[in-house]
Amino acid sequence: MKHLVLTAILATTFMGFARGNKINNNGRLNPSDTILYAGEKHFANVQQLTFGGDNAEAYFSFDGKYIIFQRTNPKEGIMCDQMFIGKVPGPGEKFEPWPVSSGKGRTTCGAFLKDGKHIVYASTHLGADTCPPVPDRKKYGNKYIWPLYPSYDIFMTTTDGKIVKQLTNSKGYDAEATISPDGKKMIYTSTKNGDIDLYIMDLKTGKEKQVTNTLGYDGGAWFSPDGKKIIWRASRPKTPEDIKEYKDFLAQDLVAPTNMEVFIADADGSNARQVTSYGNANWAPAYMPDSKRIIFASNHQSKRGFPFNLFTVNEDGTGLEKISTEKAFDAFPMFSPDGKKIIFCSNRNNGGTHDTNIFIADWVE
């Protein structure tokens, strides 16, 4: 639920746009439906890894050989997000992922452990075997909202799907977990204390520390590659009206994250500071391989709320650069451990459908 997924609603939002611009009257793809757009100078040798469905949050293993991601595709009987792993294909190889979640409940936010034999992800399966209900947006004036399912807990499993440990067991939402570069700590989001905050857990002892305590949604956190800092997205309601709306939604296990900015802090949560101040949704941030620059997704250049593109920026907020140029949805950027490849999720090349797919490319400085 680092995404939850903007893709689900945004793909629908973009449907008319995509059909109007990528499909001709005969139903054939126009040349504009492509995996690489003009101006995307930092991408080379782009490969599309998935074809069809809603595929998102694809992240590398510590050795860079595998990715974990979540997938929904009703045509394949996958009615809500389930967790998959696949080997990063070499030249001429096909991407052939396999499921690692049981198919019970909804799963989200997968991450590899450093041993390459285990993963963590959040799942609602202890609440029910079925997919949890999706909120009726009409009840909230069609506002974009995320459900914070209280039945989400974080589990450690083997890469072939065997659950070996339940890492969280609070009554609230526990999800959005990622692992520190040394493999010893997990940072995640929880509502256990009445707000949506970040926690860091020692995986060996289970001891943990709350590292954010400002009113608002704090989530989608990652450690920097050098392990010295953390980065995340946050909302900070300020006006009495915004604060009331935030608290009212939270009381219903909901959040409306249409206004988010990128924040960073030292690895223990100290010295927190805001990086972006662009307005709209600035999210899915991650440190780049040098642990100094940042890559993130944003719709701040559009008054209508889309498109979403990828941007880079220095951690002091200077040097903003637009990386992707597609006029729909690009998000969830993540670099391989060696910094040579980037993986991201996009509505590009989907033939005017709702599909969101995973793409991998060589990174060109």
- Quick one: pLDDT at residue 227? 98
Do residues 224 and 232 touch, judged by C-beta distance below 8 A?
A: no
- Quick one: pLDDT at residue 11? 38
Do residues 78 and 71 touch, judged by C-beta distance below 8 A?
A: yes
Q: How far apart are the first and last CA of the chain?
A: 30
In terms of DSSP H, where are the helices of 233-284? 240-251
Average pLDDT over every residue of 289-307: 94
Token pair 């040349």 is at which residue? Answer: 31
Strand order of the β-sheet with 66-73 is: 54-60, 66-73, 78-87, 98-99
- For 31-64, write each residue's pLDDT tens digit: 468 999 999 999 999 999 999 999 999 999 999 9
State yes or no: pLDDT of 343 exceeds 70: yes
- For 205-257, write each residue's pLDDT tens digit: 999 999 999 999 999 999 999 999 999 999 999 999 999 999 999 999 999 99
- Quick one: pLDDT at residue 306? 87
State yes or no: pLDDT of 101 exceeds 70: yes
Do residues 241 and 216 touch, judged by C-beta distance below 8 A?
A: no
- Quick one: pLDDT at residue 28? 35
Residue 354: band (very low, low, confident or very high) from pLDDT cuts 50, 70, 90: confident
- Going from the N-terminus, what domains does the chain have, and what CATH number goes with each? 6-33+46-363 (2.120.10.30)
Give the gyration radius of the chain's Cα atoms.
Answer: 19
- For 2-25, write each residue's pLDDT tens digit: 444 444 444 333 332 232 233 333
Residue 304: band (very low, low, confident or very high) from pLDDT cuts 50, 70, 90: confident
Give the DSSP letter string of 283-335. Answer: EEEEE-TTSSEEEEEE-TT-TTS--BEEEEEETTS---EE----SSBEEEEEE
Do residues 312 and 318 touch, judged by C-beta distance below 8 A?
A: no
Do residues 176 and 219 touch, judged by C-beta distance below 8 A?
A: yes
Token pair 């729909």 is at which residue? Answer: 328
Q: How many CA atoms lie within 13 A of 39 on its CB side?
A: 10
- Quick one: pLDDT at residue 9? 41
Structure tokens belonging to residue 330: 């690009």
Burial of 76 (0-12, 13-18, 19+ CB in 10 A): exposed
Do residues 281 and 4 touch, judged by C-beta distance below 8 A?
A: no
Asked if omega into 307 is within 30° of 0 (cis), the reply is yes
Q: How far apart are CA 42 and CA 266, in angstroms?
A: 29
Contacts 24+ apart (CB under 8 A), 173-176: 173/148, 173/149, 173/253, 174/122, 175/1, 175/108, 175/109, 175/122, 176/1, 176/2, 176/108, 176/109, 176/122, 176/219, 176/220, 176/221
- Quick one: pLDDT at residue 29? 40
Q: Which residue has the higher pLDDT, 9 or 362?
A: 362
Q: How far apart are CA 51 and CA 77, in angstroms?
A: 15
- Quick one: pLDDT at residue 32? 65
Do residues 270 and 208 touch, judged by C-beta distance below 8 A?
A: no
Burial of 189 (0-12, 13-18, 19+ CB in 10 A): buried
Q: What is the mean pLDDT of the chain?
A: 92
